[in-house]
Amino acid sequence: MFKKPEALTDVPFHYCPGCTHGIIHRLVAEVLDELNVTGRAIGVAPVGCAVLAYKYFSCDMQEAAHGRAPAVATAIKRSVPGSVVFTYQGDGDLASIGAAEIVHAAARGEKITVIFINNAIYGMTGGQMAPTSLIGQKTTTSPFGRDPELTGYPIRISEMLATLTGAKYVVRTSVHNPVNVNKTKEAIRKAFECQLNGIGFSLVEVVSSCPTNWGMTPMEALKHVENKMIPYYPLGVYRSPEEDAKK
Amino acid sequence: MAEKVLMKGNEAIAEGAIAAGCQCFFGYPITPQNEVPEHMSKRMIELGRVFLQAESEVAAINMVYGAAGAGARVMTSSSSPGISLKQEGISYIATAELPAVIVNVQRGGPGLGGLCPSQSDYFQATKGGGHGDYHLIVLAPSSVQELYDMVGDAFDLADKYRNPAMLLTDAVIGQMMEPVELKERKVPNVDKSWATTGHQGKRKHNIVNSLGLAWDELAEMNKRLYDKYETIKANEVRIEEQNVNDADLVVIAYGSSSRVAKSAIALARANGVKVGLLRPITLWPFPSKRVAELAARGKKFLVVEMSFGQMYEDVRLAVDGKAPVDLLYKLNGTVPSVEEVQQRIESLK
């Protein structure tokens, strides 16, 4: 029978209609329950739309300063033996202000799992340009469309982190249709297993939608993910223990 | 008696932390405190505890937040510009009511500044530094032995009140070598059932947080902090006094300045000047009541500090216009000499 995962509380989500946070929160919670680690889990919430994630997950939670979740998670993992530590971060949090923290956590091979929600915009603060916003994308701080002459090109986090030896499992997925929702769940499970097996740093970059700040309907937003986001952010496994073993 | 060792100030900070049961240290290189992370990098690993050189002072303070939230005794150290970087994290730690120790080995400022000692981070330490209504408990040692002892005091106070505590020292004391008695310290058993250690299915989940979006949620958080600070102010003031009772003039100085002042006072006393020393050991809470008492008894004050005059303002506040307060300020890049302090004392008698 379909029921709420143990790893989610009863607090109703505040997310917009069509927001993919709801799906991804659920996938993370299901994986925690299925791996039987919810009791050992400590999650670190970001600053962003998911700032209230500390109310939504029923494991121990810490709310981090903007971008600092990987540093917070590093300390929790190293000071609580047996803990299963994850961060949940948006693209402003992880790729902008938190760029140093994510790179160094990955470089150090911290045995944490990062769930990276890439919707190419700052959602909570009302739709500003993000490091992952696409060329030409109109946002509240790029009203004429993102101009590479002015603001460079969007950052591909998975590809970048995959070059770091300590980053053992790096994968990009999406949740724009059921097939890919299932693939995302599998990726999240493998990421937590990478942590549980003591292999190293794991990150799942989930290409997500933000209908509200993209100025689209939820369905248009999912189409935008498929037709515009994924061509720039190709889905796939960028690092894995299996591939590393072959080298 | 415990082993007595000739030790550098920064090393005494590290050893004092270890004796006090510090479980995690997160730091970053910056002169003049590098011996702290260097010493910790060896000793903490030898002891099977947690050491990490973070990618920045920002990352380090956020690691402190994470470990503190997870129930560990945790410390970071830095110097003035690095402490500026930590302010956001400190505000979060105070608001989330987490215990932690932050060491500032002050250097010349402002900006990139210099490597000389200073006391110009007093405002930063005692008036917030980070945003919002919060306070650090601030201890100001004046010798290498006090560095060793007061690190442990900082940990205990931080745990007692679930509040970050700062050890505010300077480049002179950090770099000088003095004999230190390596006293053993009893590490208190502190209830940390609020920490995020994983609920194991046996309790409600714990949340470490500083966000209060609902106005009453935020007001409640602030009320807890306000009440806590009132309690600390009432109970934790620490002072050292020398020859104050019969003094006409009371010199108020802390840290390195207090050492210079002690020598100058001894010389002035030998010349018949009735002068004493009030050395605040806690800069926050500031010994305002004691200063006010002395002002009411007709004493005059001379503040000696290595800044434009920051503690001077707290003395003025405490005195509330009831007594004259003179200031011997030192611009960063200079330190007070015994002669100039003695001269000023004798000119004020």
Q: CB of B237 within 8 Å of any CB in chain A?
A: no
The answer, yes or no, to whether residue B215 has pLDDT greater than 90, is no
Mean pLDDT score across all residues of chain A: 97
Q: CB of A84 within 8 Å of any CB in chain B?
A: yes
Gap between the Cα atoms of A87 and A188, Å rounded: 12
Rg (CA), chain B: 20
Q: What is the CATH number of domain B239-348?
A: 3.40.50.920
- In the structure, what pLDDT confidence band is assigned to residue B18 with cuts at 50, 70 and 90? very high
- In the structure, what pLDDT confidence band is assigned to residue B92 with cuts at 50, 70 and 90? very high
List, for residues A104-125, the tens digit of each pLDDT value: 999 999 999 999 999 999 999 9
* Residue A108 C-alpha, separation from nearest chain B C-alpha, in angstroms: 10
Contact check, Cβ <8 Å, B198/A42: yes
Contact check, Cβ <8 Å, A72/B205: no
For tokens 């004429």, the residue is: A144
Contact check, Cβ <8 Å, A41/B198: yes
Q: CATH 3.40.50.970: which residues of chain B?
A: 4-195+226-233
CATH code for position A228: 3.40.50.970
**Among the listed residues B94, B159, B162, the one whose alpha carbon sits nearest the alpha carbon of residue B125:** B94
pLDDT at B2: 79
Domain count, chain A: 1
* Residue A141 C-alpha, separation from nearest chain B C-alpha, in angstroms: 25
pLDDT at B120: 97
- Which class for A198: exposed (0-12), middle (13-18), buried (19 or more C-beta within 10 A)? exposed
- Which class for B316: exposed (0-12), middle (13-18), buried (19 or more C-beta within 10 A)? middle
Q: Quick one: closest CA in A to B90, which residue?
A: A65
Contact check, Cβ <8 Å, B52/A80: no
Residue-number span of the structural domain to which A86 is assigned: 21-246
Q: CB of B132 within 8 Å of any CB in chain A?
A: no
List, for residues B247-296, the tens digit of each pLDDT value: 999 999 999 999 999 999 999 999 999 999 999 999 999 999 999 999 99
Residue A41 lies in a domain: yes
Contacts of A73 in chain B (CB under 8 A): 66
Residue A35 lies in a domain: yes
Q: CB of A40 within 8 Å of any CB in chain B?
A: yes
pLDDT at A1: 78
Residue A185 lies in a domain: yes
Question: Between chain A and chain B, how many beta carbons pairs sit less than 8 Å apart?
Answer: 132
Gap between the Cα atoms of B213 and B225, Å rounded: 17
Gap between the Cα atoms of B305 and B336, Å rounded: 8
Contact check, Cβ <8 Å, A76/B23: no
Residue A13 lies in a domain: no
pLDDT at B14: 98
* Residue B149 C-alpha, separation from nearest chain A C-alpha, in angstroms: 25
The answer, yes or no, to whether residue B349 has pLDDT greater than 80, is no
Q: CB of B94 within 8 Å of any CB in chain A?
A: no
Contact check, Cβ <8 Å, A60/B205: yes
Q: CB of A33 within 8 Å of any CB in chain B?
A: no
Nearest beta carbon to residue B67 from set A40, A55, A75 = A75
Nearest beta carbon to residue A59 from set B54, B67, B199 = B199
Contacts of B208 in chain A (CB under 8 A): 61-63
Contact check, Cβ <8 Å, B196/A42: yes
* Residue A147 C-alpha, separation from nearest chain B C-alpha, in angstroms: 31
- In the structure, what pLDDT confidence band is assigned to residue B226 with cuts at 50, 70 and 90? very high
Contacts of B69 in chain A (CB under 8 A): 62, 72, 76
* Residue A45 C-alpha, separation from nearest chain B C-alpha, in angstroms: 9
Residue A228 in tokens: 């515009």
Q: What is the CATH number of domain B4-195+226-233?
A: 3.40.50.970
Contacts of B214 in chain A (CB under 8 A): none
The answer, yes or no, to whether residue B320 has pLDDT greater than 80, is yes
pLDDT at B130: 97
Q: Under 8 Å CB-to-CB from B278, ≥6 apart: which residues?
A: B239, B240, B241, B244, B250, B251, B252, B287, B290, B291, B294
Contacts of B209 in chain A (CB under 8 A): 54, 61-63
Q: CB of A31 within 8 Å of any CB in chain B?
A: no
Contact check, Cβ <8 Å, A79/B23: yes
Task: Tell me, yes or no, if the pTM score tops 0.90.
Answer: yes
Mean pLDDT score across all residues of chain B: 97
pLDDT at A2: 86
pLDDT at B53: 98
Strand ranges in chain B using DSSP code E only, listed in sequence order:
4-8, 24-27, 50-53, 74-78, 100-106, 137-139, 164-170, 177-181, 207-208, 239-242, 249-252, 275-280, 282-284, 300-305, 325-329
Contact check, Cβ <8 Å, A42/B197: yes
pLDDT at A97: 98
Torsion A69-A71-A73-A75 (CA) sign: negative
Over pLDDT 70: what percentage of chain A? 100
Contact check, Cβ <8 Å, B209/A82: no
From the candidates A37, A42, A61, which should be mutated to test the interface with B, based on the most B CB atoms within 10 A?
Answer: A42
Residue A2 lies in a domain: no
Contacts of B67 in chain A (CB under 8 A): 75-76, 78-79
Q: Quick one: closest CA in B to A7, which residue?
A: B205
Q: Quick one: closest CA in A to B201, which residue?
A: A39
pLDDT at A247: 87
Nearest beta carbon to residue B63 from set A9, A57, A71 = A71
Across A73-98, b (16+ Cβ under 10 Å) vs e yields bbbbbbbbeebbbbbbbbbbbbbbbb
* Residue A181 C-alpha, separation from nearest chain B C-alpha, in angstroms: 28
Per-residue pLDDT of chain A (247 residues; tens, 9 = 90+): 789 999 999 999 999 999 999 999 999 999 999 999 999 999 999 999 999 999 999 999 999 999 999 999 999 999 999 999 999 999 999 999 999 999 999 999 999 999 999 999 999 999 999 999 999 999 999 999 999 999 999 999 999 999 999 999 999 999 999 999 999 999 999 999 999 999 999 999 999 999 999 999 999 999 999 999 999 999 999 999 999 999 8
* Residue A79 C-alpha, separation from nearest chain B C-alpha, in angstroms: 6
Q: CB of A102 within 8 Å of any CB in chain B?
A: no
Which contiguous run of DSSP H or E holds residue A114?
A: strand A113-118
Q: CB of B217 within 8 Å of any CB in chain A?
A: no
**Among the listed residues B282, B228, B286, B233, the one whose alpha carbon sits nearest the alpha carbon of residue B99:** B228
